[in-house]
């Protein structure tokens, strides 16, 4: 029986997940979009102009062959559906994308690998829309700042603490960071936290107070204020809009219909 038009799986769903752990090559097959996060090591990808590094996001259509250059860990998911197909048409070549451009993607990939639903799959597709065409090398100071924010956004107090960790003045860090990234480090930190909040909002396991504690906000009220300022709607409204459509009751076969 054909699927109902409102079935979220028609648009985007997780068809398969794979994991690379060690230094053995891995081949990814199957129709759809493969998206993965490389959490450690360096890895070559057929069709990509450069090797992937820790924190990079894998994007491509099968067949893909991953060849580790050292011990690596990568989790990948295969997305299928109309939206995934549309993304593939506009994506360009298979590549490693800069994870800094889509900070929420890694968390969503991890959740989907653990058995997430169609809403999470669509959320990942939205996050991947921000992926850079290439991972542009950054100056060492800015690269360290980006890595520190991405790895510790939930516990980082602010730009003052970050500049102390990196051994530079706050003004120098802000100037160098904004020149390369386009926004000051404080704004980037907020963006990373907001993307993490969105990823957690896609699951109904966490209330706002829990999400605030997991993403570096001092409490649910402060999270709500910042979220509405940055996104334009409250977390509750965003969660409701991102929730999967309710199931539509199946109609009985025509032979079972009754006429008066």
pLDDT at 246: 45
pLDDT at 243: 61
Looking at the structure of the chain, the number of domains it has is: 2
230 assigned to some structural domain: yes
Which residues does the chain have with pLDDT short of 50?
1-6, 133-134, 245-260
Same domain, yes or no: 132 and 22:
yes
Same domain, yes or no: 70 and 12:
yes
250 assigned to some structural domain: no
pLDDT at 255: 42
Same domain, yes or no: 225 and 123:
no
pLDDT at 139: 86
Alpha-carbon distance of 55 to 224, in angstroms, equals: 28
According to the 3-state scheme, what is the secondary structure of 108-137?
HHHHHHCCCCHHHHHHHHHHHCCCCCCCCC
Same domain, yes or no: 132 and 183:
no
CA 25 to each of CA 65, 67, 196, 244: distance values in angstroms, whole numbers, following the listed order = 7, 5, 31, 36
Same domain, yes or no: 129 and 143:
no
Largest Cα–Cα separation, the chain: 82
Same domain, yes or no: 119 and 143:
no
User: Which of 26, 20, 22, 19 is closest to 65 using CA atoms?
Assistant: 26
pLDDT at 230: 85
Same domain, yes or no: 152 and 112:
no
Same domain, yes or no: 41 and 89:
yes
Same domain, yes or no: 78 and 185:
no
Query: Quick one: tokens of 251?
Result: 């109609």
255 assigned to some structural domain: no
Same domain, yes or no: 117 and 152:
no
According to the 3-state scheme, what is the secondary structure of 241-256?
HHCCCCCCCCCCCHHH
Q: Residue 177, Cα to own-chain centre: how many angstroms?
A: 22
Under 8 Å between Cβ of 105 and 35:
yes
DSSP-H helix ranges across the chain: 82-91, 105-113, 118-128, 140-152, 159-166, 170-181, 185-201, 208-215, 220-231, 235-242
pLDDT at 20: 92
Same domain, yes or no: 213 and 224:
yes
Same domain, yes or no: 86 and 180:
no
251 assigned to some structural domain: no
CA 78 to each of CA 24, 35, 81, 179: distance values in angstroms, whole numbers, following the listed order = 20, 6, 10, 36
pLDDT at 258: 39
User: Which of 137, 186, 181, 183 is closest to 163 using CA atoms?
Assistant: 186
> What is the CATH classification number for the domain harbouring 79?
2.60.120
Alpha-carbon distance of 35 to 37, in angstroms, equals: 7
Alpha-carbon distance of 72 to 42, in angstroms, equals: 7
254 assigned to some structural domain: no
pLDDT at 6: 45
Alpha-carbon distance of 211 to 205, in angstroms, equals: 10
pLDDT at 212: 92
Query: Could you list the residue range(s) of the whole structural domain that residue 201 is in?
Result: 138-244
> What is the CATH classification number for the domain harbouring 164?
1.10.10.60
Give the position of tokens 């829309």.
129
pTM across the whole model: 0.53
């Amino acid at each position: 029986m054909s699927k109902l038009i409102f079935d979220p799986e028609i648009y985007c769903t997780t068809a398969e997940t794979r994991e690379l752990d060690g230094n053995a090559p891995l081949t990814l097959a199957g129709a759809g979009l493969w998206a993965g996060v490389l959490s450690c090591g360096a890895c070559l990808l057929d069709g990509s102009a450069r090797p992937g590094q820790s924190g990079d996001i894998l994007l491509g259509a099968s067949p893909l062959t991953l060849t580790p250059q050292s011990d690596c860990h990568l989790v990948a998911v295969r997305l299928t559906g109309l939206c995934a197909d549309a993304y593939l048409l506009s994506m360009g070549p298979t590549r490693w994308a800069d994870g800094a451009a889509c900070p929420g993607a890694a968390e969503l990939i991890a959740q989907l690998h653990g058995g997430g639903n169609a809403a999470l799959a669509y959320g990942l597709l939205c996050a991947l829309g921000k992926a850079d065409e290439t991972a542009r090398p950054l100056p060492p100071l800015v690269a360290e700042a980006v890595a520190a924010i991405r790895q510790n956004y939930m516990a980082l107090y602010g730009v003052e603490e970050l500049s102390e960790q990196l051994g530079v003045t706050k003004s120098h860090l802000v100037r160098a960071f904004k020149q390369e990234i386009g926004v000051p480090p404080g704004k980037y930190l907020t963006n990373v936290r907001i993307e993490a909040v969105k990823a957690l909002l896609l699951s109904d396991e966490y209330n706002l107070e829990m999400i605030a504690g997991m993403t570096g906000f001092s409490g649910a009220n402060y999270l709500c204020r910042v979220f509405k300022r940055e996104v334009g709607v409250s977390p509750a409204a965003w969660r409701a809009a991102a929730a999967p459509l309710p199931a539509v009751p199946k109609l009985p076969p025509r032979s079972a219909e009754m006429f008066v």
